[in-house]
Structure 1
Amino acid sequence: MSASTLELRVVEARTLNPLIRLLRLRADDSRQLPAYAAGAHVRVRVQTGADDSAVDWRHYSLVNFSTARNATQVPVEYVIAVRLEPAGRGGSRFMHERVQQGDVLTIEMPKNDFPLHTGPGGTVLVAGGIGVTPLATMAARRRAEGLPVRLHYAGRSRDTMAFLPELQAMLGDDLQVHADADAGAPLDIEALLDACPAGDRLYVCGPKPMLDAVLEKTQARGWTHDRVHFELFSAPVVEEGDQPFEVELAQSGQRFTVPAHQTLLDCLIEHGCDPMFDCNRGECGVCAVPVLEGEIDHRDYVLTAREKAQGNVMQICISRAKGARLVLDM
């Protein structure tokens, strides 16, 4: 343990449904844990290989349903929920299959890249799947403050959607549940936005297709950036048409082929490079790298339209090459 990490014991490990597992973490001496605000997450140390040598970190939002005003200011436990990603890099499988009640996990202090803003107007929360976790805490915070809040919670089917009883008990008629299997179609984003008064702020957390749809439709309506807040809750996915490409590192002269199924970041790490990165979702900007040659397929949520058009920097965790080759200044 260091000054920036905590060693917490798993006091409860419970399967909520075939895809989602809840873990409740506490200190052995039951001491108060560092405070956090709605939208915060912790990074958890995971093992991604068969032995203990392959170590990585994964982000999990902190979940709170208490509407007490100080619930997240004086916590004695952290609650996280982990979605199983069978085709992922192994972190979720570790959390689902190997972590048991009584085990000790190393976590970093809470961090918040998805803060809940204060001020007039209502709060509209839009959750897709496991993206409900930070939004549930936001809903509890708004209830604690006596401020208006509505949650739209979408998923493929009700049996894969976590925390429905808790959310219903907390929000009542302010919870709108959409299951694709029941409705026969995805959540109607246009209708949702039509029902938002001018002063409402929108908070969106879910998979990339949902986030892309919401951002596209709010931008088409002229909604300003300070009105739409988001967090992506999925790792980069292979998109239709993705092709292998060559990457050259100008400073060392090394050349690698990035397969269609692999991110540029993962390819560099696999070949012994040590690039900076954090979110792995194209949101934080930490992994930005200058590009000297080649056309970039920008897939991030950090760069402005002008920066993307200039084509001289990319977020290597999620963006790719449009052509056959990229030359990076690294």
Structure 2
Amino acid sequence: MNAIIITAAGGPDVLQIASRQDPSAGEYQVLIEVRAAGINRPDVLQRKGYYPAPPGASVDIPGLEVSGVIVALGSAVTRWEIGDKVCALIPGGGYAELVLADADVCLPIPSGLSFAEAAALPETIYTVYDNVFRRGGLKQGEHLLVHGGSGGIGSTAIQLAKASGAFVSTTAGNSDKCAYCKSLGADIVVDYKRQDFLSILRDQKVNVVLDSIGGDYFEKNIDLLMPDGRLVYINAVNGKNVAVDLMKVMQKRIVITGSTLRARDVTFKAQLTREIGAFVWPLIGASFKPQVYREFKLEDAAAAHEFMETGNFLGKLVLTI
């Protein structure tokens, strides 16, 4: 099979196409002929050498989500059949013509979606569902603040929160991105390059914050949150070390939490898959639509990474085969 490999830690040019041996399905795995693979920030971090693959995952083929057709089954797999069209969350190896996935971490491609749209679903939906609804406990009628609403995670969080009956505020970096967030259903959008989100939202009753920024956003998030608020971290691009006013945390009874998904075990991901299949999958095509901004061919992965690092896009980027 052909695959995109990371030849060394570095810029987009270190991504090169190479020939690799076709993988074989283990007892509880399916072999997927990949038609599309989502591109995510962790892929960029892995390429730069900052985010090593977990044990058992491909160390030099990036890619955390794919869509395609099942072409082989492990001996213990009974849920799927050869020819089924699925999308899957995987720990790595998605930038390839073939990839293995645990059978319990696959979902059927929703009716009416292209392979590219389906490939844009798993990583963001799993991340948002686990962090906003499970860890953050967002409920109908509560107020969610999402930082970075125009990206893959943000666009997913806005749509799913609105579908659950929440009020949604978000931050974005320019007028086009702000308009895009509004089009997805965000109630309040703050252009963080021109406005201070703390000043704009100070009188709002924010219950949950989903933050990937960190740094000086931390104290502002604490100030905004209502008593019994939940502050959920999924990244810290502006700094992981922050000063904490513990008295504010205690007085407001704020829960500070966060998670990463890639290294979680299959048992956890399988349970998450079942919940997402039951609660999120019925929304797709109605209350939720995958946001694919641009498609690139597999062999153009380096150009796709270069484009991703510009930040000049809305939603998701996808590789297609």
TM-score, normalising length from structure 2? 0.37
Higher relative contact order (CA 8 A, sep 6+): 2
TM-score, normalising length from structure 1? 0.36
